[in-house]
Structure 1
Amino acid sequence: MAVGKDDVEIVKPRTDKRHYRRLVLSNSLQVLLISDPDTDKCAASMNVTVGSFSDPVGLEGLAHFLEHMLFYASEKYPLEDSYSKYITEHGGSTNAFTSSEHTNYYFDVNTDCFEEALDRFAQFFIKPLMSADATMREIKAVDSGNWDTLAVRPKDRGQDTRHELLKFYDENYSANLMHLVVYTKESLDKIQTLVEDKFQEIRNTDRSCYQLPGQPCTSEHLQILVRAVPIKQGHKLRIAWPITPSIHHYKEAPCRYLSHLIGHEGEGSLFYVLKTLGWATGLFAGEGDWTLEFSFFEVVIELTDAGHEHMQEIVGLLFKYINLLQQSGACKWIFDEVHSSYMCIY
């Protein structure tokens, strides 16, 4: 049963026929329901506020490894890989990722088999099996470097990787650290009943979010140049600045505004100049790795051989362009243009 329920006021285009509801289950799982009568696909995503920053010392990569293991099997569906097979056989796709502070799991599937797909998905967070045999096979399968990190070194210290895996899951995968989004064509009431039935069994151990306060860069880490010999052919120039995470200013979206301008490819843009000079073949600008405490804004430029020889001039042009943006200040029409294009995506 849900302990809280309210229709959420969401800024959306007038043509949006979808309906939204936010609720909190009695186990403290936070849920956003989306009803779209016109969709031919259903989807769900579960975000767990636990990531690689929570890896135990000496078992780096364990959070990501756990992400892989949850796909194998559960007590209710013990046949290995039956979840992924069910999704693909019913017109869907599934994946997951682990970041520094979050692990996210998601899938989409045809509407007529969403209920079973959602039930299989829910078992990730209720009773996954993570058998000893599957654990060892996955250590070998994901990447050869994992063997040393998650098998050899732990064994030398007298640690059992599967035991540590189960311990990490039990200690960190708590319902109060999870956020679920469900998207389907059914009514909000029907979705809510389905979600309450499928996800109420997730344990709530009342865990606190892991926080790493402070900044990773001190003055000695700034204004430095690092050169690296690439494995692949080509040259890449990456400039990064530590910034306040844009999630704290999501309504204004300053990083999106800046990435729109710095990454623009039209006449008069930075990339247009670099391409005309024959120094660059690509340019990307935007927020890179981020947490709630710190973030980085990056400009990545794919250089030609000639561009590699003129790297200092390229950096100079970039900073001249940034200085120009500072002098010009924020423009309302540009903000509105970026906002409109962003809303069109959704």
Structure 2
Amino acid sequence: MAVGKEEEILKARTDKREYRRIVLPNSLQVLLISDPDTDKCAASMDVSVGSFSDPDGLEGLAHFLEHMLFYASEKYPLEDSYSKYISEHGGRTNAFTASEHTNYYFDINPDGFEKALDRFAQFFIKPLMSADATTREIKAVDSENQKNLLSDGWRMNQLEKHLSAVDHPYHKFSTGNWDTLEVRPKAKGLDTRHELIKFYEEYYSANLMHLVLYGKEKLDKIQGLVKDKFKDIRNIDRSCLRFPGEPCTSEHLQILVRTIPIKEGHKLRLVWPITPEIHHYKEGPCRYLGHLIGHEGEGSLYYILKTLGWATGLSAGESDSTLDFSFFKVEIDLTDVGHGHMQDIVGLLSNTFPSYSSQVSADGFLMSYLLFAR
């Protein structure tokens, strides 16, 4: 087992916690954090596979797998025993599926941490993806999607995907529903559970996983827990997945889309394709630009819009980031008066930041969305 040198991890002088990076023999990379003053312990496992890897005709499979891993394991076959244990020991647990990642995490009272880790590790060792649970969890995914249909934010995100290049995985419907996970697969003679297990076996490899543990114990103790609980995750040396190319070409730029929202109100969203900030994480250009545009003090863009009575809120920053592409979004909550001054607001944004406006001219608007009341 390789152990990273502690001095390689930079931390603030006021940070009293101890850190250590290790790599298990199965190539699982782990960050250990020891904090004797904490009243909660936590763990997070990130798997480098997400909705971009959904097979054609099985949109939402990665998200469905996220749901199924919570169900049970061969070692702990009692349904929902993991979630119940976490709750009984003062903790919370959840997960999310992104484009290139799926993340599972929990926190818990310190006295329940070790047993929680044992249950958590079984997600990635021998999950029990039984036939009984398959239909029920597809319904759970469908229910989640039905809820999202009533969310303006989710609807806008799906609209952005719909307007992108059809041959790029960003275009896919990533949540999944009853149609994509049950009706269509059956029509093609596919067994969703069989495809789910195949997906898990193909992508859930230890070398594509990164684990973080946060506990009260000394680093050596936490390291011992990791070695004991996670050493049996199989490693098939799966290559890291990449999805090169831009989801937006010239035909997707400089367009204005008007939509009718679920909730009454007006919102203007402007989106630009950019280089992912992860390639410049030390400089943080998106965070810098987001701070400038989102500043609310006197003389700022928001201050001007608020003074004019055109806006009640403004946010800016990177969104939908992957290894190969990203977007920078500015979202403005408009008043009824501001709703009629959209072009003026876009002009103010460009004039407030001349250096940025030149970049806008070079790249062009990707999309501009305007939400208006019925």
Whether these two folds match at TM > 0.5 is yes
One-letter amino acid of the structure 1 residue matched with residue 180 of structure 2? T
Q: Check if 1:115 corresponds to 2:110.
A: no
**Offset, 1:273:** 0.8
RMSD: 1.4
* Residue matched to 1:85: 84
User: Is 1:42–1:111's contact at 8 Å kept on the other side of the alignment?
Assistant: yes
* Residue matched to 2:123: 124
Deviations 1:192-230 (A, max 9, x none): 111000000001011112211111121222222122222
Distance 1:164 1:325, change over 3 A: closer
CA distance in 1, matches of 2:357, 2:214: 41
- Alignment coverage as a number of residue pairs: 326
SS class of match (1:226)? strand
Distance 1:93 1:32, change over 3 A: same
SS class of match (2:314)? strand
* Residue matched to 2:223: 192
* Residue matched to 2:332: 301
Over the matched positions of the two proteins, sequence identity in percent amounts to 78
CA distance in 2, matches of 1:292, 1:325: 23
CA distance in 1, matches of 2:13, 2:180: 52
**Offset, 1:10:** 2.8
CA distance in 1, matches of 2:217, 2:19: 12
**Offset, 1:288:** 0.6
Deviations 1:148-171 (A, max 9, x none): 110010000000000000110011
**Offset, 1:7:** 1.7
Distance 1:8 1:247, change over 3 A: farther
**Offset, 1:140:** 1.2
Distance 1:8 1:25, change over 3 A: farther
Which of 158, 162, 181 is equivalent to 1:150? Answer: 181
Instruction: Give structure 1 stretches of 5+ with no counterpart.
Output: 328-346
CA distance in 2, matches of 1:192, 1:212: 34
Q: Check if 1:208 corresponds to 2:207.
A: no
User: Is 2:90–2:108's contact at 8 Å kept on the other side of the alignment?
Assistant: yes
- 1:1-346 pair list within 5 angstroms: 2-144=1-143, 146-323=177-354
**Offset, 1:324:** 6.1
TM-score by length of 1: 0.92
Between 20-29 and 227-236, the greater mean CA deviation after superposition? 227-236
**Offset, 1:235:** 1.2
Instruction: Give structure 2 stretches of 5+ with no counterpart.
Output: 146-176, 359-374
One-letter amino acid of the structure 2 residue matched with residue 276 of structure 1? T
User: Is 2:91–2:106's contact at 8 Å kept on the other side of the alignment?
Assistant: yes
CA distance in 1, matches of 2:24, 2:122: 17
**Offset, 1:12:** 2.1
Distance 1:178 1:108, change over 3 A: same
**Offset, 1:8:** 4.7
CA distance in 2, matches of 1:215, 1:322: 26
SS class of match (2:224)? helix
User: Is 2:86–2:92's contact at 8 Å kept on the other side of the alignment?
Assistant: yes
SS class of match (2:85)? helix
Q: Which structure ranks higher in relative contact order (CA pairs < 8 Å, sequence separation ≥ 6)?
A: 2
**Offset, 1:232:** 2.0
**Offset, 1:142:** 2.3
TM-score by length of 2: 0.85
SS class of match (1:273)? helix
**Offset, 1:322:** 2.0
